[in-house]
């Protein structure tokens, strides 16, 4: 499953690496990509092992707010 998160807190390119690294340590996350210019965070994950709430919490744990993108 792919989940799209948004963050308005990204203020430096090192934020990207910090968030990607944190998300990729979660069991059930296959890949995570952060797009600095847009604040978009794409996460490929197994929702049974890594629910969306855990993704948001993990981004928060490294100092950034994230919300599930509305479509």
- pLDDT one-digit tens code per residue, 37-49: 999 999 999 999 9
pLDDT at 71 exceeding the cut of 70: no
Note the pLDDT of residue 26.
98
pLDDT at 50 exceeding the cut of 60: yes
pTM summary value: 0.93
Query: Residue 18: which CATH number?
Result: 3.30.70.100
pLDDT at 12 exceeding the cut of 90: no
Residue 12 carries which DSSP code? S
Question: Domain count of the chain?
Answer: 1
Burial-class residue 64 by CB neighbours within 10 Å (0-12, 13-18, 19+): buried
Cα end-to-end distance, the chain, whole Å: 16
Neighbouring CB atoms inside 10 A of 65's CB total 12
% of the chain residues with pLDDT over 70? 97
């Amino acid at each position: 499953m792919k989940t799209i998160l948004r963050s308005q807190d990204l203020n430096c390119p090192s934020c990207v690496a910090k968030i990607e690294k944190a998300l990729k340590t979660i069991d059930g996350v296959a890949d995570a990509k952060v797009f600095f210019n847009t604040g978009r965070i794409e996460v490929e994950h197994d929702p049974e092992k890594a629910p969306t709430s855990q993704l948001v919490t993990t981004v928060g744990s490294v100092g950034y707010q994230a919300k599930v993108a509305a479509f």
